[in-house]
Amino acid sequence: MLHTSINVKDMDRTINFYTDKLGMKLESRREIKQNNAEIAFLSIEGSNHNIELTWWKDKTEYVEGDQLDHIAFSIENMDQFIARMKEEGVEIAKEPYLLGTSRIAFIKDPNGIWIEMIERK
């Protein structure tokens, strides 16, 4: 397991909360033009699990419970994994695409929760 993503309303305010109040470290922050979003990764000393903050620029209303965006896992072979998920009837929320040096895809669990699969080179 790599990270847990949380939807946020205000990126700067949320980063300040996690860094100032919880002592986390801002590792990176960048725009994702493909999704009209911005993401930031935060870490905490002694843990390999990160929090990803996701700000959807088009989203104006949030309902309590919408905050969990996705969880992420590392995989070795994206093509094999996606083919197996399709064979097993798993919904592919977003087909594989390149983001930096990683290939990323999203599937959905039975409850509609998005699960990000990351193949790193």
Q: Which residues are catalytic?
A: 116
Q: Tokens 């399709």, residue?
A: 86
Q: Tokens 């949380």, residue?
A: 6
Residues 6+ apart with CB under 8 A from 34: 97, 99
Query: What are 106's two structure tokens?
Result: 């999203």
Query: Residue 6, Cβ neighbours under 10 Å: how many?
Result: 16
Q: Are 39 and 29 in contact (CB under 8 A)?
A: yes
